[in-house]
Amino acid sequence: MIRLGLFDYGAGNLHSLRKGLEAGGARVTVTSDWQEALGQDGLVLPGVGSFGSAVRGLGGERERVRDALEEGLPCLGICLGMQLLFPASEEAPGNGIGFLPGEVRRLRARIVPQMGWNDVEGGADPILRGVGDFPAYYANSFICEVDEVEASAVIATSRYDDDEFAAGVRKGRTLGFQFHPEKSSSAGLRILANFVEEVAG
């Protein structure tokens, strides 16, 4: 059985994400210890808390985590977890993992945060197999802008007001989604199952 390390920044409820990954066939260990998290078959960075709290959760292990991703450890970042893959955020000072080049900025919209369902335009990436375009659940005030040098990393997009942004990214075996798959009905659960299957492959 595939073993996933679900990192706990110390904020929020990880129950639904854990259940979604387990439904996809994984054995999930919730941990705040990076050695334990990076010792699994794959790493999951959840979407709870703020960028500042997540940076504190890195606890000086930023380079170690980035090295593991560069060496091919499968990783799934969700909402805040996706933002943590970037170098920095407008939300709070501190350095993210810096695995993807770009910036995390505030949504340019009349009402922030974005709370609720929004359409996702997917592409041909294997992680989206079986879902196509679909509605997903969002809870975010900030989004990721990928540098042009890595523009091909964007695998799905959404629009909120007039602001179009990356709903999903991939670099190697590292994936990120701005929405919450664990709260996005059957399409989201299929994405989690696809991730487990990819780790197994």
Active site residues: 79, 180, 182
Q: For residue 77, give both structure tokens.
A: 């970042």
Spatial contact of 163 and 112, defined as CB atoms under 8 Å apart: no
Q: For residue 60, give both structure tokens.
A: 């000086």
Q: For residue 178, give both structure tokens.
A: 């701005």
Spatial contact of 169 and 176, defined as CB atoms under 8 Å apart: yes
For residue 96, the number of C-alpha atoms closer than 13 Å in the C-beta half-sphere is 25
> Which SS3 state, helix, strand or coil, does residue 3 take?
strand
> Which SS3 state, helix, strand or coil, does residue 135 take?
strand
